[in-house]
């Protein structure tokens, strides 16, 4: 998975990667050449007392070292460049892909996991790429080259390698098998920490109000301890590996000196060769160790790559049409035809057989008890969720055949829980229409009964914090209404958008809204009878089913559910 993921991402950097490989090759060869030069100095220079040879070979050694250093620095620089670029590309890829998700996919992964996947998981992959180019490319060259050079120094002594290298390999192989599952749970527990942290920050007021501080603290401590346990497990494995590796290295040095000493005694080997052999042995073992360190990162990066790929493979259930219709054929005539909807993993449908028509210039109200499916119904119109049965038609065209931009451009949605973005009042209001003039913006604010408090806040440049937490719930609602008004869409969807307003503001807003939305199709979800009683059509929703459609007087006369709702709020005389 990791390899497949990276193969695609490496494509733009193949040139740079080739440069890295060449630099690493030169660097490794230089590294391999040095001990043999050293051996020459000892055997031909020092042993014979020939200063000229020492100076000459010493000069060459210096030059080789300088070349090696330059190549190594270049390789690390280029390696870092490729790794960071690949990381950036991956992050951008995941981000862009997540943007296409509908509410269904977002719910499936959850925000905390998606955040970890775009940040931490990408970082793991990035780290492995970096290590690959700084260490792994050189390691095989050093290993193979080291063995060849060792053989050249002394064939018999090289027999020791047949013992040392397998021993090392077994130790490291064992460690890797043990580490992989640990890394898997590590990423999951980072997800958990993220989730709890997010929940606690978002819900801080509720936590305070319900005096759940201690409970929440314990919950976080629990998740934190879980992560620590795995991390300690990983640390313990690592702690075991390094001493073992050093043990192997040192024992093998002793063995080489022991057997080498005997061979020098017997005559076939020179002192310089033994020194060189020892250097090669160390180079081989260091290369093996580096490769292993690298392979310890690989399992973690593999887990991360799986998690990234999982996101990239999930395609949105809201599929844009192949041949989208990009121009609305009319003025935003809306029809729901036998709409049914079930949430993923839910057994019962939330909406069943919902049908009604809403024409431009009309106001259609939807009323129903909480949980009757009003929000769900509105969300199927801009395809936040796709209906599971029936169809939503705008101007006679199924919304699934409209281009997404066309559809969204025609709809002004004021969600039940309006969200404002960090920035200013102006930046939020221009969210759907960037080139709106100040006059247009102010006009929208006035209609939404928001001009007064915006002026008090300091005008259009007043700051809005993330999520709009520095304005009250009712102010947020009014800003969200103004945001929808600035766009002048064909279809307005107000989801319980007047609930946080007092009666007077509610009435003033509706009066100002009427001329604005005269030509548009307006759908209003509301709880308050006063908000909707003059609607052209009232749709009564009960447990996902339409139990009545008509005007206020009609429904009062014929519909029991509607009568109950109305009479729970006003007296018989007021309702008439
Ligand atoms: N994301 C979701 N996943 C699963 N079920 C959901 C989801 N959102 C809502 N539901 C279920 O769908 C039903 C209808 O919810 P919906 O939000 O549409 O109600 P509503 O009529 O807007 O209520 P309210 O008046 O309280 O806003 C509820 O019973 C709820 O349990
Ligand atoms: Mg709702």
Q: Which residues of 317-338 are buried (b: 16+ CB within 10 A; e: fewer)?
A: ebeeeeeebeebeeebbbbbbe
Task: Please tell me the distance between residue 376's alpha carbon and the centre of ligand 1 in angstroms.
Answer: 6
* Alpha carbon nearest to ligand 1 atom 26, residue: 370
CA atoms within 13 A on the CB side of 422: 2
* Angle at CA of residue 36, ends 62 and 155, nearest 5°: 170
d(CA 521, CA 553): 22
Kindly give the number of the ligand 1 atom that is closest to the alpha carbon of 369: 25
Structure tokens at 160: 């020791």
Atom 24 (ligand 1) nearest CA: 370
Structure tokens at 272: 């310089």
Task: Specify the pairing of strand 521-525 against strand 491-495.
Answer: parallel
For residue 273, the model assigns a pLDDT of 84
pLDDT greater than 70 at residue 572: no
In ligand 1, which atom is closest to the CA atom of 379? 18
H or E stretch at 440: helix 438-447
> Tell me: the pLDDT tens digits for 343-376?
888 888 999 999 999 999 999 999 998 889 999 9
- Give the whole-angstrom CA distance, residue 303 versus residue 1: 9
Give the number of other CB atoms < 10 A from CB of residue 408. Answer: 16
Whether the model pTM is above 0.75: no
- Rounded Cα–Cα distance for residues 44 and 55 (Å): 12
Residue 337: phi and psi, rounded to 5, are -120, 105
Residue 288: pLDDT band with limits 50, 70, 90 = confident
Nearest to 158 by CA among 290, 278, 262: 278
Confidence of residue 576 (pLDDT cuts 50, 70, 90): low
Do strands 463-464 and 521-525 pair parallel, antiparallel, or not at all (unpaired)?
A: unpaired
Residue 213 CB partners (closer than 8 Å, separation 6+): 207
Backbone angles phi, psi at 423, to 5 degrees: 150, -140
Pick from 111, 342, 349, 371 the residue to mutate for probing ligand 1's pocket: most ligand atoms within 8 Å of its CB.
Answer: 371
Q: pLDDT tens, 242-254? A: 888 888 888 988 9
Distance (Å, whole) CA 129 – CA 143: 20
Residues ≥6 apart with Cβ < 8 Å to 505: 449, 474
Pocket perturbation via mutation, ligand 1, pick of 344, 373, 546 by most ligand atoms within 8 A of CB: 373
Question: Is pLDDT of 220 > 90?
Answer: yes
List, chain by chain if needed, residues with CB within 6 Å of any ligand 1 atom: 107, 343, 346, 350, 368, 370-376, 416, 496
Could you tell me if 316 and 164 are in contact, meaning their C-beta atoms sit under 8 angstroms apart? no
Report how far residue 142's alpha carbon sits from residue 291's, in angstroms, rounded to the nearest whole number: 11
Q: Give the pLDDT mean for 458-486.
A: 90
Contacts of 315 (CB under 8 A, 6+ apart): 100
Contacts of 459 (CB under 8 A, 6+ apart): 425
Q: What is the pLDDT of residues 116-172, one digit of tens each?
A: 899 989 999 999 999 888 888 888 888 888 888 888 888 888 888 888 888 888 887
Distance 308 CA to ligand 1 centre (A): 30
């Amino acid at each position: 998975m990791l390899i497949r993921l990276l193969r695609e991402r490496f494509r733009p950097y193949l040139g740079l990667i080739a440069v890295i490989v060449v630099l690493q090759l030169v660097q490794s060869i230089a590294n391999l050449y040095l001990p043999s030069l050293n051996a020459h100095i000892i055997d031909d220079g020092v042993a014979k007392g020939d200063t000229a040879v020492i100076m000459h070979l010493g000069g060459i050694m210096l030059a080789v070292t300088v070349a090696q250093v330059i190549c190594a620095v270049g390789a690390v620089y280029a390696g870092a460049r490729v790794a960071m670029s690949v990381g950036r590309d991956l992050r951008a890829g995941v981000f862009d892909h997540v943007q296409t998700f509908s509410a269904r996919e977002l719910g499936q992964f959850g925000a905390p996991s998606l955040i970890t996947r775009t940040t931490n998981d990408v970082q793991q992959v990035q780290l492995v790429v970096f290590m690959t180019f700084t260490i792994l490319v050189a390691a095989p060259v050093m290993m193979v080259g080291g063995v060849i050079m060792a053989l050249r120094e002394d064939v018999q002594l090289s027999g020791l390698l047949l013992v040392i290298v397998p021993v090392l390999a077994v130790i490291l192989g064992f460690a890797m098998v043990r580490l992989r599952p640990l890394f898997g749970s590590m990423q999951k527990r980072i997800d958990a920490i993220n989730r709890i942290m997010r929940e606690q920050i978002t819900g801080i007021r509720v936590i305070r109000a319900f005096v759940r501080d201690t409970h929440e603290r314990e919950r976080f401590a629990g998740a934190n301890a879980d992560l620590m346990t795995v991390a300690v497990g990983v640390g313990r494995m690592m702690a075991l590996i390094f001493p073992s590796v050093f043990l192997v290295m040192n024992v093998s040095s002793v063995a080489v000196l022991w057997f080498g000493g005997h061979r020098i005694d017997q005559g076939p080997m020179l002192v310089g060769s033994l020194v060189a052999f020892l250097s090669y042995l160390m180079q081989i073992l260091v290369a093996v160790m580096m490769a292993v360190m690298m392979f310890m990162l690989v399992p973690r990066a593999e887990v991360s790559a799986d998690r990234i790929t999982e996101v990239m493979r999930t395609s949105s259930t809201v599929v844009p049409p192949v041949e989208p219709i990009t121009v609305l054929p009319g003025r935003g005539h809306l029809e729901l035809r036998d709409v049914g909807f079930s949430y993923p993993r839910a057994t019962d449908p939330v909406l069943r057989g919902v049908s009604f028509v809403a024409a431009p210039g009309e106001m259609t109200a939807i009323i129903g008890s909480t949980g009757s499916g009003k929000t769900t119904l509105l969300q199927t119109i801009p395809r936040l969720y796709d209906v599971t049965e029936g169809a939503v038609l705008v101007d006679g065209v199924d919304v699934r055949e409209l281009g997404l931009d066309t559809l969204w451009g025609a709809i002004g949605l004021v969600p039940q829980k309006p969200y404002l973005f960090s920035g200013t009042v102006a930046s939020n209001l221009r969210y759907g229409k960037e080139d709106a003039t100040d006059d247009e913006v102010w006009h929208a604010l006035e209609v939404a009964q928001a001009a007064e408090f915006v002026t008090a806040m300091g005008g259009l440049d007043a700051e809005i914090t993330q999520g709009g937490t520095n304005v009250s719930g009712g102010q947020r609602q009014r800003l969200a209404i103004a945001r929808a008004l600035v766009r002048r869409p064909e279809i307005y969807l107000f989801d319980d958008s007047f609930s946080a307003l007092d009666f007077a503001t509610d009435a003033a807003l509706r009066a100002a809204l009427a001329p604005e939305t005269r030509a548009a199709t307006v759908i209003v979800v509301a709880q308050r009878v006063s908000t909707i009683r003059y609607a052209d059509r009232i749709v009564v929703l009960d447990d996902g089913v339409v139990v009545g459609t008509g005007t206020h007087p009609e429904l009062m006369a014929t519909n029991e559910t509607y009568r109950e709702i109305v009479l729970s709020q006003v007296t018989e005389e007021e309702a008439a």
